[in-house]
Chain A
Amino acid sequence: MSTVIGSGRPARFTFGPNERATLTDPLIANNPITVQMLGVCSALAITTRVDNAVVMSVGVILVAMIASLAVSLIRERIPTAIRIIVQLAIIASLVTVFDQVLEATFYEISLELSVFVGLIITNCMVLGRAEGYAMRHPPFPAVLDALGNALGYALILIVVAATRELLGVGKLLGFQVLPLTRDGGWYEPNGLMVLPPSALFVIGLLIWAMRTWWPSLVEKD
Protein backbone atom coordinates (compact mmCIF):
# COMPACT_ATOMS: atom_id res chain seq x y z
CA MET A 1 0.00 0.00 0.00
CA SER A 2 3.05 2.19 -0.04
CA THR A 3 2.65 5.09 -2.39
CA VAL A 4 5.93 6.85 -1.76
CA ILE A 5 7.11 7.08 -5.30
CA GLY A 6 10.81 6.77 -5.78
CA SER A 7 11.74 5.61 -2.29
CA GLY A 8 9.39 2.79 -1.38
CA ARG A 9 9.42 3.73 2.30
CA PRO A 10 6.16 2.72 3.99
CA ALA A 11 6.31 5.07 6.97
CA ARG A 12 4.80 8.53 6.47
CA PHE A 13 5.56 10.59 9.52
CA THR A 14 9.04 9.48 10.55
CA PHE A 15 11.66 12.20 10.57
CA GLY A 16 14.83 10.47 9.43
CA PRO A 17 17.88 11.59 7.50
CA ASN A 18 15.88 11.75 4.27
CA GLU A 19 13.28 14.07 5.75
CA ARG A 20 15.98 16.18 7.32
CA ALA A 21 17.67 16.50 3.96
CA THR A 22 14.33 17.47 2.36
CA LEU A 23 14.00 20.23 4.92
CA THR A 24 17.57 21.53 5.12
CA ASP A 25 18.89 21.12 1.57
CA PRO A 26 16.99 24.14 0.24
CA LEU A 27 18.40 26.38 3.00
CA ILE A 28 21.88 26.64 1.47
CA ALA A 29 22.84 23.82 -0.88
CA ASN A 30 19.74 24.12 -3.05
CA ASN A 31 18.52 27.57 -2.07
CA PRO A 32 15.60 28.68 -4.25
CA ILE A 33 16.92 32.20 -4.80
CA THR A 34 20.69 31.91 -4.93
CA VAL A 35 20.97 28.41 -6.45
CA GLN A 36 17.70 27.73 -8.29
CA MET A 37 17.29 31.44 -9.17
CA LEU A 38 13.54 31.37 -8.48
CA GLY A 39 11.48 34.08 -6.83
CA VAL A 40 14.07 36.77 -7.53
CA CYS A 41 11.49 39.33 -8.70
CA SER A 42 9.77 39.62 -5.32
CA ALA A 43 13.15 39.59 -3.62
CA LEU A 44 14.00 42.77 -5.54
CA ALA A 45 10.78 44.55 -4.72
CA ILE A 46 10.22 44.13 -1.01
CA THR A 47 13.68 43.94 0.54
CA THR A 48 14.05 47.61 1.43
CA ARG A 49 13.01 46.96 5.03
CA VAL A 50 13.34 43.96 7.31
CA ASP A 51 9.75 44.10 8.59
CA ASN A 52 8.42 43.90 5.01
CA ALA A 53 10.73 40.97 4.29
CA VAL A 54 9.53 39.16 7.43
CA VAL A 55 5.86 39.59 6.52
CA MET A 56 6.52 38.48 2.95
CA SER A 57 8.48 35.46 4.25
CA VAL A 58 5.66 34.44 6.58
CA GLY A 59 3.25 34.68 3.64
CA VAL A 60 5.43 32.57 1.37
CA ILE A 61 6.08 29.96 4.09
CA LEU A 62 2.36 29.55 4.87
CA VAL A 63 1.22 29.61 1.26
CA ALA A 64 3.93 27.19 0.07
CA MET A 65 3.25 24.70 2.89
CA ILE A 66 -0.54 24.67 2.55
CA ALA A 67 -0.37 24.65 -1.26
CA SER A 68 2.03 21.70 -1.28
CA LEU A 69 -0.12 19.87 1.27
CA ALA A 70 -3.29 20.41 -0.75
CA VAL A 71 -1.67 19.49 -4.07
CA SER A 72 -0.09 16.38 -2.56
CA LEU A 73 -3.39 15.24 -1.06
CA ILE A 74 -5.20 15.34 -4.40
CA ARG A 75 -2.17 14.60 -6.61
CA GLU A 76 -3.54 11.32 -7.94
CA ARG A 77 -6.89 12.79 -8.82
CA ILE A 78 -5.67 15.87 -10.71
CA PRO A 79 -6.21 15.52 -14.46
CA THR A 80 -2.82 15.90 -16.15
CA ALA A 81 -4.09 18.40 -18.70
CA ILE A 82 -5.16 20.98 -16.10
CA ARG A 83 -2.69 20.28 -13.27
CA ILE A 84 -0.83 23.60 -13.47
CA ILE A 85 -4.02 25.65 -13.46
CA VAL A 86 -5.34 23.61 -10.51
CA GLN A 87 -2.15 24.30 -8.59
CA LEU A 88 -2.38 27.98 -9.47
CA ALA A 89 -6.01 28.16 -8.37
CA ILE A 90 -5.06 26.69 -4.99
CA ILE A 91 -2.07 29.03 -4.61
CA ALA A 92 -4.06 32.10 -5.72
CA SER A 93 -6.85 31.35 -3.24
CA LEU A 94 -4.37 30.95 -0.39
CA VAL A 95 -2.61 34.18 -1.29
CA THR A 96 -5.92 36.06 -1.44
CA VAL A 97 -6.86 34.75 2.00
CA PHE A 98 -3.44 35.72 3.37
CA ASP A 99 -3.85 39.21 1.90
CA GLN A 100 -7.27 39.54 3.57
CA VAL A 101 -5.89 38.36 6.93
CA LEU A 102 -3.03 40.84 6.63
CA GLU A 103 -5.50 43.67 5.97
CA ALA A 104 -7.49 42.68 9.06
CA THR A 105 -4.44 42.46 11.34
CA PHE A 106 -1.50 44.56 10.11
CA TYR A 107 -3.33 47.21 8.12
CA GLU A 108 -0.47 49.62 7.44
CA ILE A 109 1.91 46.85 6.43
CA SER A 110 -0.82 45.49 4.16
CA LEU A 111 -1.17 48.89 2.43
CA GLU A 112 2.50 48.78 1.59
CA LEU A 113 2.75 45.08 0.74
CA SER A 114 -0.62 44.33 -0.87
CA VAL A 115 0.75 44.73 -4.39
CA PHE A 116 3.63 42.40 -3.65
CA VAL A 117 1.64 39.87 -1.64
CA GLY A 118 -0.36 39.33 -4.82
CA LEU A 119 2.92 38.49 -6.51
CA ILE A 120 3.31 35.40 -4.31
CA ILE A 121 0.85 33.83 -6.76
CA THR A 122 3.41 34.14 -9.51
CA ASN A 123 6.35 33.31 -7.27
CA CYS A 124 7.90 30.51 -9.32
CA MET A 125 9.25 28.99 -6.13
CA VAL A 126 5.78 28.15 -4.76
CA LEU A 127 4.49 26.74 -8.04
CA GLY A 128 7.82 24.99 -8.57
CA ARG A 129 7.49 23.05 -5.31
CA ALA A 130 3.86 22.13 -6.02
CA GLU A 131 4.55 20.93 -9.56
CA GLY A 132 8.07 19.62 -9.05
CA TYR A 133 7.69 17.89 -5.69
CA ALA A 134 4.18 17.78 -4.19
CA MET A 135 2.70 16.23 -7.36
CA ARG A 136 4.94 13.19 -6.87
CA HIS A 137 5.25 12.83 -3.09
CA PRO A 138 2.94 12.11 -0.13
CA PRO A 139 1.76 14.99 2.06
CA PHE A 140 4.33 14.85 4.86
CA PRO A 141 7.49 15.08 2.74
CA ALA A 142 5.73 17.55 0.45
CA VAL A 143 5.07 19.90 3.38
CA LEU A 144 8.67 19.49 4.61
CA ASP A 145 9.98 20.27 1.15
CA ALA A 146 7.80 23.38 0.87
CA LEU A 147 8.82 24.52 4.35
CA GLY A 148 12.51 23.99 3.56
CA ASN A 149 12.34 25.92 0.32
CA ALA A 150 10.26 28.72 1.81
CA LEU A 151 12.72 29.01 4.69
CA GLY A 152 15.59 29.15 2.21
CA TYR A 153 13.74 31.93 0.39
CA ALA A 154 13.02 33.72 3.68
CA LEU A 155 16.66 33.47 4.75
CA ILE A 156 17.90 35.26 1.62
CA LEU A 157 15.06 37.78 1.75
CA ILE A 158 15.86 38.78 5.32
CA VAL A 159 19.64 38.89 4.77
CA VAL A 160 19.18 41.14 1.72
CA ALA A 161 16.62 43.32 3.50
CA ALA A 162 18.85 43.71 6.57
CA THR A 163 21.78 44.74 4.34
CA ARG A 164 19.68 47.25 2.41
CA GLU A 165 17.93 48.76 5.43
CA LEU A 166 21.20 49.06 7.36
CA LEU A 167 23.19 50.65 4.53
CA GLY A 168 20.27 52.54 2.99
CA VAL A 169 18.81 54.28 6.02
CA GLY A 170 21.04 53.11 8.90
CA LYS A 171 18.20 51.24 10.57
CA LEU A 172 17.27 47.66 11.42
CA LEU A 173 13.59 46.82 11.93
CA GLY A 174 12.95 50.56 12.14
CA PHE A 175 15.48 51.22 14.92
CA GLN A 176 18.35 53.60 14.18
CA VAL A 177 21.51 51.50 14.37
CA LEU A 178 23.95 53.74 12.52
CA PRO A 179 23.62 57.42 13.50
CA LEU A 180 23.10 59.47 10.31
CA THR A 181 25.18 62.53 9.50
CA ARG A 182 22.06 64.67 9.14
CA ASP A 183 21.17 63.79 12.77
CA GLY A 184 24.72 64.58 13.92
CA GLY A 185 26.07 61.03 13.58
CA TRP A 186 28.82 59.64 11.37
CA TYR A 187 26.97 57.48 8.84
CA GLU A 188 26.16 58.93 5.42
CA PRO A 189 23.31 56.72 4.11
CA ASN A 190 23.74 55.10 0.71
CA GLY A 191 20.65 56.14 -1.25
CA LEU A 192 21.25 53.49 -3.91
CA MET A 193 20.49 50.79 -1.33
CA VAL A 194 16.88 51.94 -1.13
CA LEU A 195 16.36 51.53 -4.88
CA PRO A 196 15.47 48.18 -6.50
CA PRO A 197 18.76 47.66 -8.43
CA SER A 198 20.70 47.39 -5.19
CA ALA A 199 18.81 44.17 -4.37
CA LEU A 200 20.28 42.72 -7.54
CA PHE A 201 23.78 43.77 -6.45
CA VAL A 202 23.31 42.38 -2.93
CA ILE A 203 21.91 39.06 -4.22
CA GLY A 204 24.75 38.87 -6.75
CA LEU A 205 27.36 39.41 -4.04
CA LEU A 206 25.58 36.84 -1.88
CA ILE A 207 25.67 34.24 -4.67
CA TRP A 208 29.35 34.94 -5.19
CA ALA A 209 30.08 34.65 -1.48
CA MET A 210 28.11 31.41 -1.14
CA ARG A 211 29.84 29.82 -4.10
CA THR A 212 33.22 30.80 -2.76
CA TRP A 213 32.41 29.41 0.67
CA TRP A 214 30.77 26.20 -0.66
CA PRO A 215 32.56 25.41 -3.97
CA SER A 216 30.16 22.47 -4.46
CA LEU A 217 27.46 24.99 -5.48
CA VAL A 218 29.41 25.92 -8.62
CA GLU A 219 28.00 24.24 -11.74
CA LYS A 220 30.45 22.00 -13.56
CA ASP A 221 30.75 22.74 -17.24
Chain B
Amino acid sequence: MAEASTARDVNAPGYTIRFALVVCLICAAVVATAAVLLEPRQAANARLYMEKNVLIAAGLAEPGDDLSIADVDALFNRYVEARLVDLETGELVPENAVDARAFDQRAARSDPESSRPAPANKAGIHRLPERAVVYFIRRDEAVDELVLAVEGLGMWGTMYGFVSLDPDANTVRGLTYYEHRETPGLGAEVASPVWQRVWQGRKIYDDQWRARITVIKGIAGSPEDDPLHVDGLSGATVTSNAVTNLMQFWLGPHGYGPFLDRFRNGEADT
Protein backbone atom coordinates (compact mmCIF):
# COMPACT_ATOMS: atom_id res chain seq x y z
CA MET B 1 0.00 0.00 0.00
CA ALA B 2 2.93 2.27 0.65
CA GLU B 3 3.94 1.64 -2.96
CA ALA B 4 0.51 2.61 -4.20
CA SER B 5 0.75 6.06 -2.73
CA THR B 6 4.23 6.71 -4.09
CA ALA B 7 3.72 5.06 -7.48
CA ARG B 8 1.36 7.77 -8.64
CA ASP B 9 0.74 11.28 -7.53
CA VAL B 10 -2.70 11.22 -5.92
CA ASN B 11 -2.96 14.96 -6.27
CA ALA B 12 -2.42 15.17 -10.05
CA PRO B 13 -5.43 16.89 -11.64
CA GLY B 14 -6.09 14.08 -14.13
CA TYR B 15 -6.02 11.46 -11.39
CA THR B 16 -8.28 13.58 -9.17
CA ILE B 17 -10.92 13.80 -11.88
CA ARG B 18 -10.71 10.09 -12.71
CA PHE B 19 -10.95 9.23 -9.04
CA ALA B 20 -14.02 11.44 -8.56
CA LEU B 21 -15.68 9.86 -11.60
CA VAL B 22 -15.07 6.31 -10.37
CA VAL B 23 -16.38 7.12 -6.88
CA CYS B 24 -19.50 8.72 -8.36
CA LEU B 25 -20.15 5.74 -10.64
CA ILE B 26 -19.78 3.22 -7.81
CA CYS B 27 -22.01 5.26 -5.47
CA ALA B 28 -24.63 5.72 -8.20
CA ALA B 29 -24.60 1.99 -8.99
CA VAL B 30 -25.08 1.08 -5.31
CA VAL B 31 -27.98 3.51 -4.83
CA ALA B 32 -29.64 2.57 -8.12
CA THR B 33 -29.41 -1.16 -7.38
CA ALA B 34 -30.97 -0.70 -3.96
CA ALA B 35 -33.76 1.47 -5.35
CA VAL B 36 -34.63 -0.98 -8.13
CA LEU B 37 -34.47 -4.11 -5.96
CA LEU B 38 -36.55 -2.65 -3.14
CA GLU B 39 -39.17 -0.90 -5.28
CA PRO B 40 -41.74 -3.77 -5.33
CA ARG B 41 -41.71 -4.10 -1.54
CA GLN B 42 -41.98 -0.36 -1.08
CA ALA B 43 -44.95 -0.22 -3.43
CA ALA B 44 -46.66 -3.08 -1.57
CA ASN B 45 -46.06 -1.28 1.73
CA ALA B 46 -47.44 1.99 0.35
CA ARG B 47 -50.59 0.23 -0.87
CA LEU B 48 -51.07 -1.55 2.45
CA TYR B 49 -50.65 1.74 4.27
CA MET B 50 -53.18 3.44 2.00
CA GLU B 51 -55.79 0.74 2.62
CA LYS B 52 -55.05 0.83 6.33
CA ASN B 53 -55.91 4.52 6.20
CA VAL B 54 -59.26 3.76 4.59
CA LEU B 55 -59.91 1.57 7.65
CA ILE B 56 -58.69 4.29 10.02
CA ALA B 57 -60.94 6.91 8.40
CA ALA B 58 -63.83 4.47 8.77
CA GLY B 59 -63.00 3.82 12.41
CA LEU B 60 -62.28 0.14 11.72
CA ALA B 61 -58.62 0.45 12.71
CA GLU B 62 -56.49 2.63 14.96
CA PRO B 63 -53.42 4.54 13.71
CA GLY B 64 -51.06 2.52 15.91
CA ASP B 65 -52.38 -0.88 14.82
CA ASP B 66 -49.85 -3.21 13.25
CA LEU B 67 -51.89 -4.72 10.41
CA SER B 68 -50.55 -7.30 8.00
CA ILE B 69 -51.76 -7.62 4.41
CA ALA B 70 -53.92 -10.54 5.56
CA ASP B 71 -55.49 -8.46 8.36
CA VAL B 72 -56.35 -5.66 5.97
CA ASP B 73 -57.79 -8.14 3.48
CA ALA B 74 -59.94 -9.71 6.19
CA LEU B 75 -61.31 -6.33 7.31
CA PHE B 76 -61.93 -5.27 3.71
CA ASN B 77 -63.78 -8.49 2.90
CA ARG B 78 -65.92 -8.17 5.97
CA TYR B 79 -66.84 -4.48 6.06
CA VAL B 80 -65.66 -2.64 2.97
CA GLU B 81 -66.99 -2.52 -0.55
CA ALA B 82 -64.85 -0.52 -2.97
CA ARG B 83 -66.69 0.99 -5.97
CA LEU B 84 -65.88 3.52 -8.65
CA VAL B 85 -67.88 6.66 -9.27
CA ASP B 86 -68.17 8.55 -12.54
CA LEU B 87 -67.40 12.01 -11.15
CA GLU B 88 -69.25 13.96 -13.84
CA THR B 89 -72.57 12.11 -13.68
CA GLY B 90 -72.27 10.85 -10.12
CA GLU B 91 -73.24 7.35 -11.21
CA LEU B 92 -71.60 4.26 -9.82
CA VAL B 93 -69.62 2.20 -12.30
CA PRO B 94 -71.20 -1.28 -12.47
CA GLU B 95 -69.64 -3.58 -9.92
CA ASN B 96 -68.43 -6.22 -12.33
CA ALA B 97 -67.01 -3.77 -14.85
CA VAL B 98 -63.82 -3.06 -12.94
CA ASP B 99 -61.85 -4.13 -9.86
CA ALA B 100 -62.32 -0.99 -7.79
CA ARG B 101 -59.98 -2.05 -5.01
CA ALA B 102 -57.07 -2.41 -7.42
CA PHE B 103 -57.94 0.90 -9.11
CA ASP B 104 -55.02 3.30 -9.11
CA GLN B 105 -56.57 6.75 -8.95
CA ARG B 106 -53.27 8.59 -9.23
CA ALA B 107 -52.34 6.70 -12.38
CA ALA B 108 -55.86 7.33 -13.74
CA ARG B 109 -55.70 11.10 -13.26
CA SER B 110 -52.26 11.32 -14.86
CA ASP B 111 -53.32 9.29 -17.90
CA PRO B 112 -54.97 11.45 -20.62
CA GLU B 113 -57.13 8.45 -21.55
CA SER B 114 -58.89 8.39 -18.21
CA SER B 115 -58.75 12.02 -17.08
CA ARG B 116 -59.55 15.55 -18.14
CA PRO B 117 -58.20 18.99 -17.20
CA ALA B 118 -59.68 20.15 -13.93
CA PRO B 119 -61.75 23.35 -13.83
CA ALA B 120 -60.08 26.33 -12.15
CA ASN B 121 -59.76 25.61 -8.45
CA LYS B 122 -57.85 26.68 -5.37
CA ALA B 123 -56.86 23.16 -4.38
CA GLY B 124 -53.96 22.95 -6.84
CA ILE B 125 -55.61 20.18 -8.85
CA HIS B 126 -54.64 20.20 -12.53
CA ARG B 127 -56.23 17.00 -13.77
CA LEU B 128 -59.35 15.16 -12.68
CA PRO B 129 -59.81 11.42 -13.10
CA GLU B 130 -63.04 10.49 -14.83
CA ARG B 131 -63.63 7.90 -12.16
CA ALA B 132 -62.85 8.10 -8.47
CA VAL B 133 -62.99 5.51 -5.73
CA VAL B 134 -65.59 5.33 -2.97
CA TYR B 135 -65.60 2.81 -0.13
CA PHE B 136 -68.95 1.75 1.31
CA ILE B 137 -68.64 0.59 4.91
CA ARG B 138 -71.28 -1.82 6.14
CA ARG B 139 -71.27 -3.03 9.72
CA ASP B 140 -74.71 -4.57 9.14
CA GLU B 141 -76.89 -4.60 6.05
CA ALA B 142 -77.12 -0.90 5.31
CA VAL B 143 -74.26 1.38 4.34
CA ASP B 144 -73.27 3.23 7.49
CA GLU B 145 -70.25 5.13 6.21
CA LEU B 146 -68.82 6.46 2.95
CA VAL B 147 -65.05 6.83 2.62
CA LEU B 148 -63.88 9.17 -0.14
CA ALA B 149 -60.37 9.84 -1.47
CA VAL B 150 -59.23 13.47 -1.41
CA GLU B 151 -56.03 15.14 -2.55
CA GLY B 152 -54.71 18.63 -3.03
CA LEU B 153 -51.64 20.81 -2.98
CA GLY B 154 -50.27 21.60 0.48
CA MET B 155 -47.27 23.73 1.40
CA TRP B 156 -44.54 21.51 -0.06
CA GLY B 157 -46.35 18.87 -2.06
CA THR B 158 -49.58 17.05 -2.68
CA MET B 159 -51.46 15.77 0.36
CA TYR B 160 -53.43 12.54 0.00
CA GLY B 161 -56.11 11.54 2.42
CA PHE B 162 -59.48 9.95 3.08
CA VAL B 163 -62.60 11.44 4.57
CA SER B 164 -65.37 9.33 6.02
CA LEU B 165 -68.98 10.58 6.02
CA ASP B 166 -72.14 9.41 7.76
CA PRO B 167 -74.95 8.04 5.54
CA ASP B 168 -76.42 11.58 5.45
CA ALA B 169 -73.41 12.32 3.16
CA ASN B 170 -72.81 15.46 5.21
CA THR B 171 -71.50 14.69 8.72
CA VAL B 172 -67.78 13.87 9.00
CA ARG B 173 -67.02 10.62 10.78
CA GLY B 174 -63.26 10.50 10.32
CA LEU B 175 -60.35 11.93 8.38
CA THR B 176 -56.81 10.78 7.62
CA TYR B 177 -53.87 12.01 5.59
CA TYR B 178 -51.62 9.15 4.63
CA GLU B 179 -49.14 10.96 2.41
CA HIS B 180 -47.97 14.54 2.61
CA ARG B 181 -44.79 16.62 2.66
CA GLU B 182 -45.89 19.28 5.15
CA THR B 183 -43.43 20.86 7.57
CA PRO B 184 -42.62 18.48 10.42
CA GLY B 185 -44.06 19.80 13.68
CA LEU B 186 -46.32 22.39 11.99
CA GLY B 187 -48.23 21.45 8.83
CA ALA B 188 -47.41 17.79 9.34
CA GLU B 189 -49.97 17.87 12.16
CA VAL B 190 -52.57 17.17 9.44
CA ALA B 191 -51.59 13.55 10.00
CA SER B 192 -52.03 13.80 13.78
CA PRO B 193 -54.92 11.72 15.19
CA VAL B 194 -55.53 14.45 17.78
CA TRP B 195 -56.33 17.06 15.13
CA GLN B 196 -58.24 14.55 13.00
CA ARG B 197 -60.57 13.83 15.94
CA VAL B 198 -61.57 17.53 15.91
CA TRP B 199 -63.33 16.81 12.59
CA GLN B 200 -65.75 14.29 14.00
CA GLY B 201 -69.32 15.52 13.82
CA ARG B 202 -68.56 18.56 11.63
CA LYS B 203 -70.81 19.19 8.61
CA ILE B 204 -69.54 19.57 5.06
CA TYR B 205 -72.54 21.46 3.58
CA ASP B 206 -74.56 24.52 4.47
CA ASP B 207 -78.37 24.52 4.06
CA GLN B 208 -77.99 25.24 0.29
CA TRP B 209 -75.87 22.07 -0.06
CA ARG B 210 -72.76 24.06 -0.83
CA ALA B 211 -69.52 22.57 0.51
CA ARG B 212 -68.56 25.15 3.13
CA ILE B 213 -66.45 23.26 5.67
CA THR B 214 -63.54 25.56 6.57
CA VAL B 215 -60.40 25.25 8.63
CA ILE B 216 -60.30 28.56 10.51
CA LYS B 217 -57.59 30.39 12.42
CA GLY B 218 -57.86 29.53 16.08
CA ILE B 219 -60.34 27.26 17.79
CA ALA B 220 -63.78 26.45 16.41
CA GLY B 221 -66.86 25.93 18.55
CA SER B 222 -68.39 22.55 19.29
CA PRO B 223 -69.65 20.50 16.31
CA GLU B 224 -73.24 21.28 17.37
CA ASP B 225 -72.82 25.07 17.59
CA ASP B 226 -70.22 25.61 14.87
CA PRO B 227 -70.53 22.66 12.48
CA LEU B 228 -68.91 24.22 9.40
CA HIS B 229 -65.64 25.25 11.09
CA VAL B 230 -62.61 23.24 12.20
CA ASP B 231 -59.71 24.30 14.47
CA GLY B 232 -56.74 25.64 12.50
CA LEU B 233 -53.25 24.17 12.76
CA SER B 234 -51.17 26.75 14.61
CA GLY B 235 -48.16 27.91 12.63
CA ALA B 236 -49.48 26.26 9.48
CA THR B 237 -51.82 28.68 7.74
CA VAL B 238 -50.89 27.47 4.25
CA THR B 239 -51.58 23.85 5.16
CA SER B 240 -54.84 24.76 6.92
CA ASN B 241 -56.07 26.69 3.88
CA ALA B 242 -54.99 23.85 1.61
CA VAL B 243 -57.13 21.43 3.61
CA THR B 244 -60.11 23.80 3.31
CA ASN B 245 -59.62 24.12 -0.45
CA LEU B 246 -59.19 20.46 -1.18
CA MET B 247 -62.14 19.41 0.99
CA GLN B 248 -64.42 21.99 -0.62
CA PHE B 249 -63.23 20.93 -4.07
CA TRP B 250 -63.63 17.18 -3.65
CA LEU B 251 -66.96 17.42 -1.90
CA GLY B 252 -68.18 20.10 -4.30
CA PRO B 253 -69.78 19.91 -7.78
CA HIS B 254 -66.56 18.93 -9.62
CA GLY B 255 -65.62 16.25 -7.11
CA TYR B 256 -67.91 13.79 -5.39
CA GLY B 257 -70.80 16.30 -5.18
CA PRO B 258 -73.01 14.76 -7.93
CA PHE B 259 -72.51 11.27 -6.51
CA LEU B 260 -73.28 12.39 -2.96
CA ASP B 261 -76.51 14.08 -4.19
CA ARG B 262 -77.61 10.84 -5.78
CA PHE B 263 -76.65 8.84 -2.71
CA ARG B 264 -78.56 11.18 -0.42
CA ASN B 265 -81.65 10.86 -2.63
CA GLY B 266 -81.37 7.10 -2.66
CA GLU B 267 -80.58 7.06 -6.38
CA ALA B 268 -77.16 5.49 -6.06
CA ASP B 269 -77.49 1.83 -6.85
CA THR B 270 -75.51 0.40 -3.96
Contact = CB atoms under 8 A, between A and B. Distances in A.
A89 B1 contact: no
Interface in B181-197: 184-185
B35 A100 contact: yes
Given A82-B20, A86-B20, A104-B38, A115 B184 contact: yes
Contacts of B27: 89-90, 92-93
Contact of A97 (B5, B16, B30, B46): B30
B98 interface: no
A182 interface: no
A79 interface: yes
A28 B220 CA distance: 50
A96 B38 CA distance: 12
A45 to B, nearest CB: 8
A126 to B, nearest CB: 15
B4 A100 contact: no
Interface string B75-104: 000000000000000000000000000000
A104 B41 contact: yes
Contacts of A101: 34, 38
Contacts of A3: 1-2
A78 B20 CA distance: 9
B10 interface: yes
A93 B31 contact: yes
Contacts of A108: 49
A78 B19 contact: yes
Interface string A59-96: 00000000000000000111111100110011011001
Interface residues of B, number: 28
Nearest to A92: B27
- Chief secondary structure at chain A's binding surface: helix
A196 B186 CA distance: 12
Contacts of B28: 93
A19 interface: no
A93 B31 CA distance: 6
A89 to B, nearest CB: 5
Given A3-B1, A3-B2, A103-B42, A79 B19 contact: yes
Contacts of B49: 107-108, 111
A132 interface: no
Nearest to B20: A82
Contact of B11 (A1, A79, A100): A79
A81 B1 CA distance: 20
A174 B64 contact: yes
Contacts of A104: 38, 41-42, 45
Contacts of B34: 96-97, 100-101
B74 interface: no
Instruction: Name, among A80, A82, A93, A105, the residue most crowded by chain B CB atoms within 10 Å (CB to CB).
Output: A93
Nearest to B2: A3
Interface string A1-24: 101000000000000000000000
A93 B30 contact: yes
Interface in A124-172: none
B31 A76 contact: no
B234 to A, nearest CB: 13
Contacts of A92: 27
Contacts of B41: 104-105
The 5 closest A-B pairs by CB, nearest first: A107-B45, A93-B27, A104-B41, A79-B16, A104-B38
Interface of B: 1-2, 4-5, 10-11, 15-16, 19-20, 23-24, 27-28, 30-31, 34-35, 38, 41-42, 45-46, 48-49, 64, 184-185
Given A3-B2, A79-B11, A80-B10, 12 more contacts: A45-B184, A79-B10, A79-B15, A79-B20, A81-B11, A85-B20, A86-B20, A92-B27, A97-B31, A100-B34, A104-B38, A107-B48
27 contacts: A1-B2, A77-B4, A77-B10, A79-B16, A79-B19, A79-B20, A80-B11, A81-B11, A82-B16, A82-B20, A86-B20, A89-B23, A89-B24, A93-B27, A93-B28, A100-B35, A100-B38, A103-B42, A103-B45, A104-B38, A104-B41, A104-B45, A107-B45, A107-B48, A107-B49, A108-B49, A115-B184
Interface of A: 1, 3, 45, 76-82, 85-86, 89-90, 92-93, 96-97, 100-101, 103-105, 107-108, 111, 115, 174, 196
